[in-house]
A and B are shown apart, each in its own frame.
Chain A
C-alpha cells in the first residue's frame, strides 16, 4: 500500500514553462513534506520542504503548494530549465519522530531546450 502517491510518472516541459508534480498522502499524522531531487548517477538531495502550518513555500523558482484538507501537495517549477531535468520525489514523515521518510514513486522531468 503506497502511503504517498505521486503523479505524473514522467513529464516533458519546454524551457521556460512550468513543471507541476503532484502528491497525495493518506496518513493524517504526517506533518513534514519534503521534495528531493535526483540527478542521474547521484543520490537524492533535499530540494525544498514544507510543514502544514503554511499553504505555500517558495524558494527561488521552486514552490510547494499544500492543501491539508485534500491531503495533497505539489511542486511547481517556474521558468523550467534544462538543468532542472532530474527525477523528483515527494515524501512525508512525522516531524521530530524517527526521521522515517515515506517516498512517492518519483517523477522523471525532462526540460527541452
Chain B
C-alpha cells in the first residue's frame, strides 16, 4: 500500500465550484505539505502544517484553504475554482528533524473549465 495517498487522482470541475482534494499518510510523519506543479514553473508550496494546530501559508496560498483533520490527513480546498488553478497537485510528508526529505503522493490532476 502507498504511504501517501491522494484522492481523487483526476478531477474536472467548473469555474466557481468548491472542491476538496484529500491526502492521507501512513508514514506517521507530522509535517504535511501541499504543492502545485505547473509546466515551466516547477512545484510551488501552497500550505504546510506541522501538526493539527499548526498551519502555515506557502508561496501561493491565495484562493486555497486547508484543513488538518488528524495527523494523517491534510485536505486542500478551492473555495471557488478558477481556470488558472488547473494544475497537478501534490501532497507531501516530512518527518520532524528530517523534514527536508519529503515523500510525495501520486498527485491529483485538476482541470477547471
The number of A-B residue pairs with CB atoms under 8 Å apart is 60
Scan residues 45-70 of chain A and give those whose CB is less than 8 A from a CB of chain B: 45-46, 49
Chain B interface, >50% SS class = strand
Contact of A99 with B102 in the complex, beta carbons under 8 Å? yes
B101 at the interface (CB under 8 A from A): yes
Select A105's contact among B41, B45, B58, B92, beta carbons within 8 Å. Answer: B41
Chain A, interface size: which category? 20 to 34
Instruction: Knowing A93-B100, A100-B58 are in contact, say whether A42-B106 is a contact too (CB < 8 A).
Output: yes
Q: Which B residues lie within 8 Å of A105 (CB)?
A: 40-42
> Cα distance A89–B88 when bound, in Å?
15
CB of A25, distance to nearest CB on chain B (Å): 13
Scan residues 1-17 of chain A and give those whose CB is less than 8 A from a CB of chain B: 4, 6, 9
